[in-house]
Structure 1
Amino acid sequence: MRIWASSSFLRHYDEAQILLKSQPQICAIGADGGHTTITNSGGEIVDPHRNVGRTIMISIAICVVTYLLVAVAVGSNLTIGQIVEARDYSLAAAARPALGQLGFWFTIVIAIAATTSGVIASVFAVSRMLTMLTEMKMIPHSHFGMKGGIRSHMLVYTVVIAGTLAVLFDLSRIASLGAFFYLVMDILVHLGVYRHLRNEIGARSSVLLAAIAADGIILAAFAGVKLESDPAIVGIAAVSIAAVFGLETLFLRRTRTSNGNAHQGKRVDGSSKSHEREADQQ
């Protein structure tokens, strides 16, 4: 979430309007991927049924406080125009007036370290989740001649896919694709829980429906903004999501068919052996 805090906001309002018209962008969108990393690593948490929820709330609270502090620090040291011009390194630019060039580079080093640790944590969490889905036979898997277990393979695949995206798209487009996929996934997960699991796990229907509605509103607003500023990424996201749905549907149908045939074969096998035993007894 990007929040601009500046004592001279009104004075720079006209300047911001001109900059936003010349370069359309999203003013604010909320996101915290930390809780997904926590849930994907739930098997490594002590007493996960109690501590996963607590950890998620702590993660969200830390993010809110951090974002507010960053917004105040940036908004109190830079004008709206300087923030827009600095873009991705606005925090480092805000450190320069107070701490000089040393503060500028120190902030960059801290940001690189934080980004690296976040990427590593996300990669391992995603590979763990993909390993679980593979073992449940919900996604296809191939060794491609590699040694080691499934989790090692998934780690390699995740890094390769992330590297490919980094080569093909800039950071803003990668973030946009991630937002589209995440919002659609979140809607479907909540819908699945509402339709099939809410009674079993004691979930409240009102909470699930509110989450679905909130995700739908955010998705529609985000898609509308992106259609004006970057319609190509909306098309890429739509085609990619449709491709994932199509391929996953084909895979699950084939898996169910093969499992059904195998189960039927076992029944026929068991029936024939039973008949043979009866014949021997006679």
Structure 2
Amino acid sequence: MTKDYVENSITLPGAVAMGTGVMIGAGIFALTGQIAELAGPLFPLSFIAGAVVTAFSAYTYVKMSNAFPSAGGIGMILKKAYGPTTVAAGAALLMALSMVISESLVARTFGTYTLQAFGGDPDSVLVPLLGIGLIVFAYLLNASGTRSVGLWSIVMAVLKVGGIASFGAAGLWASGISFEATGGELGVGGFVASVALSILAFKGFTTITNSGAEITEPHRNVGRAIVWSIAVCVVVYLLVAFAVGSNLPLDRIVAAKDYALAEAAQPALGQTGFYLTVALALVATASGLVASVFAVSRMLAMLSDMKMIPHSHFGMPGRIKDHTLVYTVVVAAFLTVFFDLSRIASLGAFFYLVMVMIIHFGVFRHLREEIGAKGWVLLTAIALDASVLAAFTGMKWQSDPLIVVTGIVGMALVFLFVGIFLARNPVRERAHEQH
């Protein structure tokens, strides 16, 4: 395993940059408009609610990662909680799929903002083609090695956090700090449902968990990196949400939901501000995709090594993580072509919320005493996630029942797939002891 996972190859700043890179890439540019569509004029507060729910979820990850840092991350937590079972393998695969879904979300956002710079149609076939181009770039950078990814993540995180925070501050100043996104319905159900997407905007912190074995002093720094990355993103998200709401009425935010930040930049900062915002979007989405591809390919490699999911080389040379890197970008490219932004985000939210509830329950039942976790925090996390999932499913059933059916069928197929595989290939008791 020393060839696959390099200990101490990711510093604490690199881990924070990796987490913020994934979160900011998807959270701000791809989801702000969609959250506003559900939450109405209260959409900035949805990010706060999402951060609160995420904080309860992060508690489980921090406790587990501090006790058992691993390059398998989520897979390690599930295997510790449930053993090498269908539940553990299925939930881990749901997490991997939700991350790949987020990659396609970010890739399409990259294509949409690129076309905005040239006055192109956001529904053009060029959107998925540009997204695929970014996925290929992410593959090439990841294939070059772990240290390249860490350096790239730090540089990009500094650029985009500083740039996006500056956009938010400048937008608020230009608007005179007057909130324009008023009107619309103030439904509790819509607001709670919007929190599902806000949670999706924060879930990039799990990228840090999946790289635990490669982070310096992992027993301390994995938890620190998670807390710092969430804190940075809360500040950035709120700045930008209020800047968008201060420069655009709600109906225009919803109409431009796939490129809401670019739309808000023009009245606030003029044409120059518009182009700078597009440039920031390209930097943020590119760095987010690179970091996500890095994490999910490592997670799939670990699950394969644990014998919990099948693996085929398909005639390719190299190590397992080289193959899972290819599988990751191929699936992300497929989703980029065949799903729009709204459906991609919905599918990712379904998979992630179900998976994270399975994790909380497993840790509560089997591991909370071993890792010193408080039971009431774990149960609160489950209740919050379940409430948000129920509200989001109800809203989507009314507006787009097909994506709800797709999500349910997809999750059923995942558990059926790994159940059949594990029944035919039972995991030996000591198969993962070396990790």
One fold, TM greater than 0.5?
A: yes
Q: After the TM superposition, which of the residue ranges 34-43 and 195-204 deviates more from structure 2? A: 195-204
Aligned-pair distance for 1:55? Answer: 1.0
In structure 1, what is the equivalent of residue 355 of structure 2?
185
Relative contact order: is structure 1 or structure 2 higher (C-alpha 8 Å, sep ≥ 6)? 2
Aligned equivalent of 1:280:
none
**1:130 matched to 2:300:** yes
Give the counterpart of 2:321 among 136, 142, 151: 151
Alignment RMSD, CA only? 2.2
Alpha carbons of structure 1 residues 8 and 49: separation in structure 2 relative to 1, 3 Å: closer
The one-letter amino acid of 2:347's match is: L
Alignment partner, residue 51 of structure 2? none
Using the TM superposition, give the Cα deviation of residue 78 of structure 1 relative to its aligned residue in structure 2, in angstroms: 1.4
- Identity across aligned pairs (percent)? 59
For structure 2, the 5+ residue unaligned runs are: 1-31, 36-42, 46-176, 188-192, 430-435
Is structure 2 residue 345 aligned with structure 1 residue 172?
A: no
Q: Tell me if structure 1 keeps the 8 A contact 2:179–2:245.
A: no
Within-5 A mapping of 1:1-282: 2=35, 3-4=43-44, 7=178, 12-13=182-183, 16-17=184-185, 27-29=194-196, 30-31=198-199, 32-256=202-426
Alpha-carbon shift at residue 165 of structure 1 (Å): 1.0
Deviation for aligned residue 1:85: 2.1
- TM-score, normalised with respect to structure 1: 0.83
Give deviations 1:177-220, integer Å, cap 9, x for gaps: 11100001101111111222222222221111111111111111
Work out the CA distance in 2 between the residues paired with 1:8 and 1:51.
39
Distance of 1:212 and 1:63 partners within structure 2: 23
Task: Give the counterpart letter for 2:392 in structure 1.
Answer: F
Structure 1 position 96, deviation (Å): 1.1
Q: Quick one: distance in 2 between partners of 1:185 and 1:236? A: 16
Give distance in 2, aligned partners of 1:143 and 1:70.
Answer: 44
1:27 Cα offset (Å): 4.6
- Runs of 4+ aligned residues of structure 1 deviating over 3 Å after TM superposition are 4-10, 26-29
Q: Give 1:67's aligned amino acid.
A: Y
Higher alpha-carbon Rg: 1
Report the Cα distance in structure 2 between the residues aligned to 1:203 and 1:246, rounded to whole angstroms.
Answer: 31
Task: State the Cα deviation string for residues 211-256 of structure 1 (Å, max 9, x = none).
Answer: 1111111111111111011100000000000000111111112222
User: 1:174, CA displacement in angstroms?
Assistant: 0.9
Aligned length: 250
Residue identity matched to 2:210: N
The letter of the residue matching 1:165 is L
- Rate the CA distance shift 1:89–1:210 in 2: closer, same or farther, 3 A: same
SS state of the match for residue 211, structure 1?
Answer: helix
- Change in Cα spacing, 1:191 to 1:28, as seen in structure 2 (3 Å) is closer
Alignment partner of 2:312: what SS? Answer: coil
Match of 2:15 in 1: none
SS of 1:155's partner is helix
Once the two structures are superposed, what CA deviation does each residue of 1:247-267 show, in whole Å capped at 9, x if it has no partner?
11111122228x59xxxxxxx
TM-score (norm 2): 0.54
Work out the CA distance in 1 between the residues paired with 2:195 and 2:272. Answer: 30
Structure 1 counterpart of 2:207, one-letter code: T
Judged with a 3 Å threshold, the aligned counterparts in structure 2 of structure 1 residues 102 and 244 are, in CA distance, closer, same or farther, namely same
Distance 1:219 1:78 in 2: 29
CA drift of 1:4 comes to 4.6
Q: Which amino acid aligns with 1:235?
A: V
Post-superposition offset of 1:48: 1.1
